[in-house]
Structure 1
């Protein structure tokens, strides 16, 4: 005996439920896939390609990135990267205490945003980011998360990833970056379209100097252990 069809009023809710379930399944599959396969493109890359007519991007394994570049990005964006599970609760509490004027987004959150979501501030995007970050942290290693970030983050107008950034700004490969060059690239985050590592402003120079010190500090105190072999 067949069950009764769902009342018409509930059919949109059922359809929405199936759609959300399908999106969740797709996200899970992509997270599993990208644990071993390089993400071919991101929403931001597609948007910039449409806006500019083209982008610069070349994937490079983290083994071929100068170790100081990885440390510089962590020092600049998330110094406690090896100590949290995707969310830095101390930074979040501090941001709330300061009225939201301070950023509290971790590298794990930024990687999820860059790979799967869109730019800009909105509650739907933040909610999806909050759901996807623990999933990525549970499937990807810290080294893999950082590797993906280094390859998909925008590091100049239409310039994505550290290999393209190193060649665009300094004419060298990612493996040949000096500590000063690495710090300057990290210093233009998170505003890569408005700052230049090659012709740095006073602010970029000052920030780069602080990042160089921070990169050396996390090397000495062990906070780089989770991503550097």
Structure 2
């Protein structure tokens, strides 16, 4: 009887403790649970998209709402001319094969330049395009910084580049290099010439402001530099991680 009474007394005290839990502690518990839930959700998406192609992105959805339609044709990386992949890497992230999501040297150079140029790697851009949204905010940047190494862990470099080549905005209402090749040159991504690839890569930082078919002097010069860069990264082995 004494033991039963002791158990009942202990149970009552436990209930009393639960009832009198401070509000701050309850909030911390819910915040922790919410944070873990969000983390698990994004981890599940990262794992899913390592083998399943993302059906849509926030940017594609936004443009579809704005324009009423978008052009996008997903193609596996094996059906994209390798010069396109090399051109994109040369233009956006020459050390793509050498880092794990963040190019420290590029970040340092950008800071020394006063922040007038970007230092986002292709992996960071994939994270932003596939999992997050456009725009500048500390929340988005913090999430991008957290998700980038996770993607690098679970995706191969080839998969990262394949997704990038299919979700990157390549013109007004145009997404991916297949749609860009079809619209601008009337060919598939597999049949693009080096010039086609360099032109598309040259407009990537500002696809709504630069023209592939009527390039400015700046875009032509950038495309020429990209062609040289694509040849360089192939020669020095910086394309090995995404080419067979």
Q: Which residue of 1 aligns with 2:225?
A: 210
> Is 1:149 equivalent to 2:161 in the alignment?
no
Q: Which residue of 2 aligns with 1:14?
A: 29
Q: Which residue of 1 aligns with 2:200?
A: 185
Q: 2:168, 2:142 → 1: CA distance?
A: 20
Q: 1:14, 1:158 → 2: CA distance?
A: 43
Aligned length: 229
Q: Which residue of 1 aligns with 2:7?
A: none
Q: Unpaired runs of 5+ in structure 1?
A: none
Deviation track 1:179-208 (CA, whole Å, cap 9, x = no partner) reads 000000000011001111111111111100
Per-residue deviation, 1:7: 2.4
Q: Which residue of 126, 134, 137 corresponds with 2:152?
A: 137
Per-residue deviation, 1:22: 1.0
Where 2:42 maps in the other structure, the secondary structure is: helix
Q: Which moved more, 1:17-26 or 1:72-81?
A: 17-26
Q: 1:185, 1:62 → 2: CA distance?
A: 16
Q: Which residue of 91, 95, 101 corresponds with 2:110?
A: 95
Where 1:200 maps in the other structure, the secondary structure is: coil
TM-score in terms of structure 1 length: 0.97
The aligned runs of 1:161-200 (5 Å cut-off) are 161-200=176-215
TM-score in terms of structure 2 length: 0.91
Aligned Cα root-mean-square deviation (Å)? 1.1
Q: 2:207, 2:192 → 1: CA distance?
A: 18
Q: Which residue of 2 aligns with 1:30?
A: 45
> Is 1:118 equivalent to 2:133 in the alignment?
yes
Q: 2:69, 2:28 → 1: CA distance?
A: 40
Per-residue deviation, 1:160: 0.7
Per-residue deviation, 1:13: 3.3
Structure 1's consecutive aligned runs of 4 or more residues displaced over 6 angstroms after TM superposition are none
Q: Unpaired runs of 5+ in structure 2?
A: 1-10
* Higher CA-based Rg: 2
Q: 1:206, 1:182 → 2: CA distance?
A: 14
Where 1:155 maps in the other structure, the secondary structure is: strand
